Amino acid sequence: MSKVYTWDQLFSRRQFIKGSVAAGVLGTAAGIGLFRPESNLGQGKSDQAAVKGTKLVTTICEQCVWRCGVIARVEDGVVKMLEGNPDHPNNLGKLCPRGNAGIETLYSPDRIKFPLIRAGARGSGLWRRASWDEALSYTAEQMKKIKDKYGAKAMMFNSTDNLSQPFFEILLKAYGTPNYGTQRSLCFNSMTTGFLYTYGTPQPGTDFSKCKYMIFTGRNLAEGISNSETQEMIEMVARGVKVVVLDPRFSKTASKATEWLPVRPGTDSAFFLAMINVIIKEKLYNEAFVNQYTQGFEDLVTEVKDYTPEWAEKKCEIPATAIRRIALDFAEAAPAAIAHPNWRTSNFVNSFQTERAIAVLNALMGNWAQPGGLIPDQELSTLKLGVLSHPAFPIAQGIRLDGVPWQYPMVPLAYGVIQTMRDNILTGKPYEAKGWLISRQNPVLSIPERQKTINALMKLDFVAVIDIQASDTAYYADVILPESYYLERFDGLIPIKNKIFIRQPVVEPLYDTKSSLMIYKELADKLGLGEFLPFKDEKDLLSQQLKPFAVDLEELQRVGHYEMEDFQEDHSKDFEFQTSSGKIEISSGIMAQMGKKAVPTWNEPPRPEKDQYYLLTGKTAQHTQMFTQNNRWLLEVFPENRAWLHTSVAAKIGVKMNDNVVLESEVGKVSVKAYVTEGIRPDCIFMVGGFGHVSKGLKAAYGLGASDSALHKTITDPISGGSALSETFVTVSKA
């Protein structure tokens, strides 16, 4: 029996140095955390000779989900610098702070360095080291036991956007469970469903380059960095384009905009319905486009008749004169005018209606596939990778725990409603869940009501987590399968238009870790499902993906991308809308079928009681969701989250900048530092998400800031499945 370790022992630097991967420390102990993996040098891969000296390796960043091109400079086997790849369209040679900080995550002393099996009560923090064979066999045995006793449906699979996700999906389908959890219902379900049921495509692009008028509502590109889109936004601002930002908080995007409108939370749809009212009344819509490509215009005319700017002002607190002026100017700029589909507009039950109103406003302008307007789905103009051939999947038995579609008929299966899955683990309805396999996702910190998620994990028979670090969810697992960091591994290839990009190891794995591709494959083997992931190793898989193209893997690895010449973009289906009517549905066929109002409409959102505040959450440019707070380079530039309070609120409760305040909602209470500012509505409190980690394995991040998930109530939009995070209200007091 191997030794039992606590988290502290496992992740102390002493343990790290003593660990089985013999590693020397480069620089002094107080240094920047760069470790030279001496024992690993020169093993395995082809270019052993290149260990001494400097080499450049092209790969794809994974500090967030945007997939930027990276060129890594490796000196004597140590990654010294990451720079943006100028040939990559997602970042055009630039890296954001998170991308620049990848090296610190790679060499972090808090990496999980070998497989771990729980050696005390769940959540006790006691572990023992296991071999890969033991950890994978143990995981497979538990999964088989659950399947034999309760059926495959009792096992849940969770993963988040990543390049190997398609192979995770193959594993779960081969296993035969219907229960698949993504992070989407915590993010932008209302945007994707709103556009899906209007245009038949969930996420149309936006042509910033020719746009003359942009309205952002919950797309904060200066702080929620999507590298290339953020660059496009900066260029647009520099060109002097009119940029209007609706946000209850003065975000950094708002500081760059030509106009900031501090809208009352949850009332954005009143603003857009009033814009539509003005545009129809003044006959400023594109009549020819509306006649040819849309359905339901007459119903819209009737619906918005009373949604005047004066009506909207009472709801959203944006002056009627401003709404009217913006409507007229926006229409004047059309079709080079965009009401951006946004991202995090999705925080109220009525956000689906907000997104529908935005989708319809764009349609009235006829900006579809026009310069400066919305861009149709690019799928037809994107190279198709070779696929693995495998047996037919078994038919998944049983309904889904997350209520899709039996409780949420309009939510696409691929999105799911993860907060309902969590709730139904606790209720045991419609059946008991028994096991959870979670790949690089952190539901403890992402789903509202953190304590409930911890309780759900405690209730299960078996929890396995695949991650690069000891996330809060890994802390409650039975087995942790350590994934190699992105700089150490391959993932599935990614085509972007006529180019194919590769993520590949920049250095050999520093520790006893594997790529998720191999973890999924070897787990499938142990489950007797190996024929569903028929590849020998990563290179074999990637070669199969490359089969349709005139390039071999070695060449792709060397160059970093493959470009198909003479590739013709296919726009023949730009105006074929994948809706039930084949048109842009101003009046939604599916909403009508469901017996709901088919055109965008107004639903009154809840408001805080006296002495309560809206709790708003959002991003910062320096961190990614719950993933990067342990990165010390990023903590240097964003050390902790704080509660934004309006100056008048701070004065009322006697709080100054950086004093501690207590925020309390119906479901939780946290203490956090105050950030006192004039840049927020006096009825709102804002905090960046992702802090307040409970895992003691995240030594740098543990104890910093507070988690919004400890405060958020679980409220779900029955149409989109979106988690209505901003319907949580809090009180605030001096700590």
Does 80 engage in binding with another protein (CB under 8 A)?
A: yes
Quick note: the x/- pattern for another protein over 211-250, rule CB under 8 A, is -----------xx-x-x--xx--xx-xxxx---------x
CA distances from 657 to 204, 660, 672 (A): 41, 9, 11
- Joined together, the tokens standing for residue 493 give 């290839």
Q: What is the dihedral of CA 624, 626, 628, 632, to 10 degrees?
A: 130
C-beta of 651: minimal distance to another protein in Å? 13
Amino acid at 722: G
Q: Which of 456, 506 has the CB closer to another protein?
A: 506
C-beta of 94: minimal distance to another protein in Å? 5
Does 684 engage in binding with another protein (CB under 8 A)?
A: no
C-beta of 229: minimal distance to another protein in Å? 10
Judged by CB under 8 A, which of 40, 193, 367, 622 binds another protein? 622
* Range 252-271, binding another protein (CB under 8 A): 252-253, 255-256, 260, 262
Task: Give the span between the Cα atoms of 539 and 522, in whole angstroms.
Answer: 15
The interface region with another protein, picked from 7-15, 24-32, 410-418, 545-553 by CB under 8 A, is 24-32
Beta bridge partners, 392, equal none
C-beta of 74: minimal distance to another protein in Å? 13
The interface region with another protein, picked from 192-200, 306-314, 383-391, 627-635 by CB under 8 A, is 627-635
The interface region with another protein, picked from 12-20, 95-103, 455-463, 471-479 by CB under 8 A, is 95-103
The interface region with another protein, picked from 100-108, 431-439, 443-451, 584-592 by CB under 8 A, is 100-108
Does 636 engage in binding with another protein (CB under 8 A)?
A: yes
C-beta of 239: minimal distance to another protein in Å? 5
Does 77 engage in binding with another protein (CB under 8 A)?
A: no
Q: Which of 138, 250 has the CB closer to another protein?
A: 250
Task: Give the span between the Cα atoms of 217 and 219, in whole angstroms.
Answer: 6
Q: Which of 62, 223 has the CB closer to another protein?
A: 223
- Are 568 and 545 within 8 A, CB to CB? no
Q: Helix, strand or coil for residue 412?
A: coil
The interface region with another protein, picked from 98-106, 355-363, 501-509, 665-673 by CB under 8 A, is 98-106
Q: Which of 118, 315 has the CB closer to another protein?
A: 315
Q: Which of 299, 659 has the CB closer to another protein?
A: 659
* Range 102-141, binding another protein (CB under 8 A): 103
Does 75 engage in binding with another protein (CB under 8 A)?
A: no
Beta bridge partners, 685, equal 615
**β-sheet with 499-501: strand ranges across:** 494-496, 499-501, 561-563
C-beta of 259: minimal distance to another protein in Å? 11
C-beta of 233: minimal distance to another protein in Å? 8
Could you please report the per-residue DSSP string of 54-82?
A: EEEEEEE--SSSS--EEEEEEETTEEEEE
- Are 11 and 700 within 8 A, CB to CB? no
Closest CA to 193 of 466, 411, 348: 411
C-beta of 623: minimal distance to another protein in Å? 11
Burial (CB count within 10 angstroms: exposed 0-12, middle 13-18, buried 19+), residue 586: buried
Does 621 engage in binding with another protein (CB under 8 A)?
A: yes
Does 646 engage in binding with another protein (CB under 8 A)?
A: yes
Contacts of 484 (CB under 8 A, 6+ apart): 468, 505, 509, 513, 514, 515
The angle that helices 351-365 and 268-281 make with each other, rounded to 10 degrees, is 30
Does 678 engage in binding with another protein (CB under 8 A)?
A: yes
Does 375 engage in binding with another protein (CB under 8 A)?
A: no
C-beta of 216: minimal distance to another protein in Å? 13
Does 292 engage in binding with another protein (CB under 8 A)?
A: no
Does 677 engage in binding with another protein (CB under 8 A)?
A: yes
Task: Find the DSSP H helices in 122-251.
Answer: 132-150, 165-175, 189-199, 227-238
Does 690 engage in binding with another protein (CB under 8 A)?
A: no
Judged by CB under 8 A, which of 428, 682, 703, 733 binds another protein? 682
- Joined together, the tokens standing for residue 35 give 């470790």
C-beta of 636: minimal distance to another protein in Å? 6
Quick note: the x/- pattern for another protein over 46-65, rule CB under 8 A, is --------------------
Does 654 engage in binding with another protein (CB under 8 A)?
A: no
CA distances from 314 to 270, 406, 728 (A): 9, 37, 22
Task: Give the span between the Cα atoms of 592 and 595, in whole angstroms.
Answer: 5
Does 336 engage in binding with another protein (CB under 8 A)?
A: no
Could you please report the per-residue DSSP string of 645-666?
A: EEHHHHHHHT--TT-EEEEE-S
Closest CA to 35 of 97, 113, 100: 113
Task: Give the span between the Cα atoms of 343 and 220, in whole angstroms.
Answer: 9
Peptide bond before 391: cis, by omega within 30 degrees of 0? Answer: no
Could you please report the per-residue DSSP string of 602-633?
A: --PPP---TT-EEEEEE--TT--TTTSTT-HH
The interface region with another protein, picked from 151-159, 369-377, 559-567, 635-643 by CB under 8 A, is 635-643
* Range 171-190, binding another protein (CB under 8 A): none
Q: Site residues (CB under 8 A) for another protein?
A: 27-28, 30-32, 34, 80-84, 93-97, 99-101, 103, 222-223, 225, 227, 230-231, 234-235, 237-240, 250, 252-253, 255-256, 260, 262, 621-622, 632-634, 636-638, 646-647, 677-682
